[in-house]
Amino acid sequence: MLRNATLNHEALNARVGLLAGWLQSRVGEAGGRVATWLPKTELACLMPLAAVRAGLVHVPVNPLLKRAQVAHILGDSGAALLISNKARLDSLEAGDVACPMIDEPSAWNQAESLGSVLPPSDALPDSLAAILYTSGSTGRPKGVMLSQANLWLGAVSVAHYLKLTPDDRVLAVLPLAFDYGQNQLLSTWYAGGAVVPLDYLTPRDVMKAVERFGITTIAAVPPLWLQLTELDWPADVAGQLRRLTNSGGALTESLVRGLRAKFPAADLYPMYGLTEAFRSTYLDPALVDAHPTSIGGAIPFAEILVVNDAGELAGPDEEGELVHTGPLVAQGYWQDAARTVERFRAAPAFSATGGTAVWSGDRVRRDRQGLLHFVGRRDAMIKTSGNRVSPQEVEEAAIATGLVAEAVALGLPDAQLGQAIHLVARAVAGSDRDELIPALTRALPNFMVPRHVHWREEIPVSPNGKLDRVALAKEFEA
C-alpha cells in the first residue's frame, strides 16, 4: 500500500495488474461485485481499472455514508467482497454485511504475497464494469449499471472537450463514488496526465494542494467553489490553474463572476450531467462571460434533445424535458426493472441516434443560439453541497429515531449549499424534540442532516390523503 508516492503510468499499470490478480483469486465468479468503502487511497483509485481487469464489477461506496446506507448498498448489489479500513469496518453491526470483509493494508499484503499480475482485459465493451448508487426522489439509492464502453467513452469525451494534455495535473477532490469523481481519474489517465487525490478538511487545504503539486485543473461543486473564491489566493498560485470544471449543481451568475475574477487565467467549464448518462452538456469557456447561467450543448458522443409536453421537439425558448441518447447512456438500474423502464425508454422518433434514451425528468430550454438553460427538476430530489439526497431517506431516518411520527423533507434555496434540507415534523407524544438532530447526526452522513426542523402539531395532507409536499414547499418559499 503506497502512501505519499508518485506512480508513472507503467508502474500504475503494474499495480492495477497485481490488484486484479488478487481480486480474481478472492472472487472467482465472473461478474461478481466487489465493493470499496474508502477515502482516496491507492486501492480506491486503482479499483475502477483492477475490478474490470479481473472480470468483476466495482461498487464504490461514498465514504461519507454510514452503516445503514452502506448495508443497503452491499445487500442490494450482492457484493462478494468489501474492502474498507478498520474504523469503517468496525462501525458495521452484525447482520449488516453478508460478504467477506478485509481492510486495505491486508488486501495489499495478500496481493503482493500472491504476486499474480493479470494483463489488460479483453472483455466486450458492453460488459458490466461498475454499479454506482445514486439516490432517487423516492425510495432507497438505486444502482446505475455502467458498461466498460460507458466508462471508456466518458473518459475520451471529457479529455477531448477539456483539452487535457500529458502535462496537466488534476486535483481530484470529488468523491470517487460519483460518476464525475471516477472520471477525474479515467479522463486524466487517458490524456496521459497526472491525478493528485485529495481528501480535504477545509477549502484552504485545496489551495495549499494547488500550490504544492502544481495543479492545473480542479473539478468541484458550487458550494466548494464559493468557499474557494472567499480565500486570499496568491496571484502566482491562482494563475497556474488552467481550467475549472463544475458539476453537482448549477452555477449562479454571481459565482461565475467571482470565479472569473479570482482565476482570470483559467477556463471555466459549466456542465450538466446525471449518473444515468454520466455527462450530457458543457458550455464552451469562450461563451461563459456572455452566458454565465447556460449549461451549453452536448458533449462528444451525446445527442441532447428537448422534448415538449406533446412529445415533440421543442422550439427555441420552449421549455421541455432534457432527453439524452447515445453510447454514454447507462444500462439501467441494477435489479430494478420497474424504475429502469420509467427512466430508460426508446429515443423519440426524431432522434438522429435512436436506441435507448435517458429521460432525465429535468426541465430545460434551448435558446435561439442553440444554448441550453436549466429550468428545474420535475422530481423532489434535494441537491445540497453537490450531493443528491432522497427526501424519503431523510424522512425515514427521522421516523426511525422514535421521536417523530410524521415528516416531510424539503430542499429550500440556500446561498452556501445550493439547497438546504428543512424537515417538517410532527413529534411523538412525550418525546424530547431537542434529541432529534443529535440522533440524525449519528444515523446519517452530515450532508443529509437537516439544517432546520419545523415542528408542527399537524402536517397538511393533499386531496389524495398524502402529506402535502407542494403546499409546504410553497409555504416556505413564500
Q: Tell me: the pLDDT tens digits for 265-312?
A: 999 999 999 999 989 999 999 999 999 989 999 999 999 999 999 999
Q: What percent of the chain has pLDDT over 90?
A: 79
Are 270 and 282 in contact by the 8 Å Cβ rule? The answer is yes
pLDDT of residue 139: 54
pLDDT at 422 over 80: yes
- Identify whether the C-beta of residue 440 lies closer than 8 Å to the C-beta of residue 450: yes
B/e letters for 154-192, b = 16+ CB within 10 Å, e = fewer, are bbbbbbebbebeeebbbbbbbbbbbbbbbbbbbbbbbbe
Cell numbers linked to 245:
470544471
Contact 53, 20 (CB under 8 A): yes
pLDDT tens figures, 123-162: 999 999 999 998 654 457 899 999 999 999 999 999 999 9
Q: Output the nine-digit C-alpha cell for 437.
A: 438532530
Q: At CB < 8 A and 24+ separation, what contacts does 347-352 make? A: 347/303, 347/305, 347/323, 348/305, 348/307, 348/311, 348/313, 348/323, 350/305, 350/312, 350/313, 351/303, 351/305, 351/323, 351/325, 352/303
Q: What is the pLDDT of residue 250?
A: 77
Neighbours of 37 (CB within 10 A): 24
| Average pLDDT score over residue span 319-333 | 97
Look at 379 and 60; give whichever has higher pLDDT.
60
> Is the pLDDT assigned to residue 425 strictly greater than 90?
yes
Q: For the packed helices 9-26 and 104-114, what is the interaxial angle rounded to 10 degrees?
A: 90
CB 342 within 8 A of CB 379: no
Confidence of residue 1 (pLDDT cuts 50, 70, 90): low
The full set of domains in the chain, from first to last, is 1-123 (3.40.50.980), 270-377 (2.30.38.10), 382-477 (3.30.300.30)
The pLDDT value recorded for residue 137 is 44
CA–CA gap between residue 179 and residue 352 (Å, rounded): 26
Give the dihedral sign, CA 342/383/250/192: negative
What pLDDT score does 423 carry?
Answer: 97
Lookup: cell for 162? 477539456
Q: Grade residue 393 by pLDDT with cuts at 50, 70 and 90.
A: confident
**pTM higher than 0.95, yes or no?**
no
Q: Let me know the angle formed at the C-alpha of 418 by 414 and 424, rounded to the nearest 5 degrees.
A: 55
**What percentage of the chain reaches a pLDDT higher than 70?**
96
Q: Which of 41, 57, 30 is nearest to 1 (CA)?
A: 41
Predicted pLDDT of residue 28 = 82
Distance CA 186, CA 172 (A): 11
Cα-to-chain-centroid distance, residue 336: 20
- Residue 462's pLDDT band (cuts 50, 70, 90): low
Q: Mean pLDDT lowest for which of 1-5, 15-19, 252-256, 401-405?
A: 1-5
Question: Which residue's entry shows cell 425558448?
Answer: 317
Higher pLDDT, 196 or 378: 196
pLDDT of residue 51 exceeding 60: yes
Q: Are strands 169-172 and 194-197 parallel, antiparallel or unpaired?
A: parallel
Across the chain, mean pLDDT equals 93
* pLDDT for the residue 138: 47
pLDDT at 170: 98
**Range in 24-33, 228-237, 367-376, 455-464 with the lowest mean pLDDT:** 455-464
